[in-house]
Amino acid sequence: MAHTAHDNEHGAHPTEKQYWMVFVILVLFTAVEVAWSFMGFEGAVLVVPLLVMMTIKFFLVAGAFMHLYFDLKLLNGRLFTWAFAGAIVLAGAVYAAVIASFRFNI
Amino acid sequence: MTDVAIPVEHAPAEHHEAGHASSLGLSNTKLAFWLFLGSECLLFGALISTYLLSVGNFVGQVVAGNPRVVSTMPAEIMNEIAEKGTVNGFFDIPFTSASSFILLMSSLTMVLAHKAVTESNYRASKIWLSATALLGATFISGQVYEFTVFYREGLYYDGNLFGSAFYTLTGFHGAHVTIGILMLVALLIMAFKGKLQADRAETVEIIGLYWHFVDVVWVLIFTVVYLIP
């Protein structure tokens, strides 16, 4: 496929085929999520796989469809990649701490 | 500009009038939009947290048999919540799964629309943009139907904590989808007027970022609200 000026400026974005592949993976994960929720599991066996699949779907959409993976590479950087990853981890930790503080009446 | 033909690979990024590339390599417009999406993360983080805490509190009170719990829902549904310790029996998971599929599909059509614009394939860009707007409208129709069913079953916005938190969270998401549809319609009008050329690719990409963000939020809501008890 011809290389466009846009591709040059924004790094190599996925091809159409790759977009379709990401979509198929997302649909498969959604189907497994729904099936898992109907299997009668309880507690961590139910919740942890659902959260893992949700996280994978989150990063697939953000990384491929939102071009975050390619834009972070373009932002030169390890610095930005680590800053972004650090911010996500920090936000998740704060979120978990707040929820836990209510749950356990801290 | 000279009259010498410049290969596409080496053409200047003349089409990025919407935002010039900064020293970071991305345009300021795009970086600013990412900051805006960061603030949206805070909004939806707060809404999801509020939902979890409110519903946890509501279910806890119902299970404990607190007679002071106010609810407009029928007794049989309240008994089911008390028995199972979750409100998830209230949801129609197959229906919501179909809605999720529709929204995921719309994300695919959105990236294909952006790709078509960057490749100056304007006929394809109109088709994919129309498909994205239609899929978004289908999702919203599904949400209106779902809200109507819940309302008829006695789940009112001011009926109990569960209703308030649920309608606020999913309603805010629905409002975001609706705003996204309006932006897509604006893009379509530009496209049909012939004003959506490759030099506007970044505008399409930024509206695409918004659309995918709405999709990502639904990925979280679908799992946290609908699937996890």
Q: What is the mean pLDDT for each group of 10 consecutive residues in chain B (229 residues)?
A: 42 45 74 88 90 88 80 81 84 94 96 94 95 97 95 88 92 97 96 90 94 96 92
Write out the residue range of the structural domain in which residue A64 sits. Answer: 1-74
* Interface touch A74/B26, C-beta < 8 Å: yes
Rg for chain A (alpha carbons), in Å? 18
CA A26 to each of CA A14, A59, B190, B203: distance values in angstroms, whole numbers, following the listed order: 16, 10, 31, 26
The pTM assigned to this predicted structure is 0.83
8 Å CB contact between B191 and B125: yes
CB B227 to CB A53 under 8 A? no
Instruction: Scan residues 34-53 of A and list those with Cβ closer than 8 Å to B.
Output: 34, 36-38, 46-47, 50-51, 53
The CA distance from B138 to B128, in Å, is: 15
**Is A9 in contact with B216 (Cβ distance < 8 A)?**
no
Same domain, A64 and A81: no
Angle, helices B201-221 vs B28-63, to 10°: value is 10
**Residues A85 and A53 both lie in one domain:** no
Tokens representing residue B51 in the block: 């939902």
Stated length of chain B? 229
Q: What is the mean pLDDT of residues A5-18?
A: 65
Give the pLDDT score at B16: 44
Burial grade of B9 (CB within 10 A; 0-12, 13-18, 19 or more): exposed
Q: Contact B115/A19, CB-based, under 8 Å?
A: yes
Work out the average pLDDT over A60-76: 77
The answer to whether A60 faces chain B, any CB pair under 8 Å, is no
Which amino acid, one-letter code, is at B76?
E
Please give the tally of structural domains in chain A. Answer: 2
Query: Where are the domains positioned within chain B?
Result: 25-227
**Quick check: A32 contacting B, CB < 8 Å?**
no
Residue of A nearest to B52 (CA): A99
Closest CA of chain A from B5, distance in Å? 14
Tokens of residue A78, six digits? 């390890």
**SS3 at position B27:** strand
Q: Measure the CA–CA gap between A56 and A76, rounded to whole angstroms.
A: 24
Looking at domain B25-227, its CATH architecture is Up-down Bundle (1.20)
